[in-house]
Amino acid sequence: MNKKAKIIFTILFIIAILIILVTINRNNFKEQSNNLKIVSSFYPIHIIAMNLTENAKNIDEECLTQNNVRMLT
């Protein structure tokens, strides 16, 4: 009985380790883009970057300011 319990414990331990490794590896395989990403911290720089990359291919432009912030008019 003691030897049988050790074998069952070892099998369950190996299964638990495999589940953990599969979960970790699944989170690491995110789809990567070949696009250049330009991140700007505020609107004047964001507008300049948008104007410079207007017709460029493979470039993603993003602004870090919140959407509810508006420029003064």
Domain ranges of the chain: 1-30, 31-73
- What's the burial of 40, exposed, middle or buried (CB within 10 Å: 0-12/13-18/19+)? middle
Query: Would you state the pLDDT for residue 22?
Result: 81
Q: What's this model's pTM, rounded to 2 decimal places?
A: 0.44
Neighbours of 33 (CB within 10 A): 9
- Residue 60's DSSP bridge partners are 37
Query: Would you state the pLDDT for residue 27?
Result: 59
pLDDT tens-place values along the chain, 73 residues long: 688 999 999 999 999 998 888 877 665 556 666 888 888 888 788 888 888 888 888 888 888 877 665 555 5
Query: Would you state the pLDDT for residue 72?
Result: 56
Query: Would you state the pLDDT for residue 11?
Result: 92
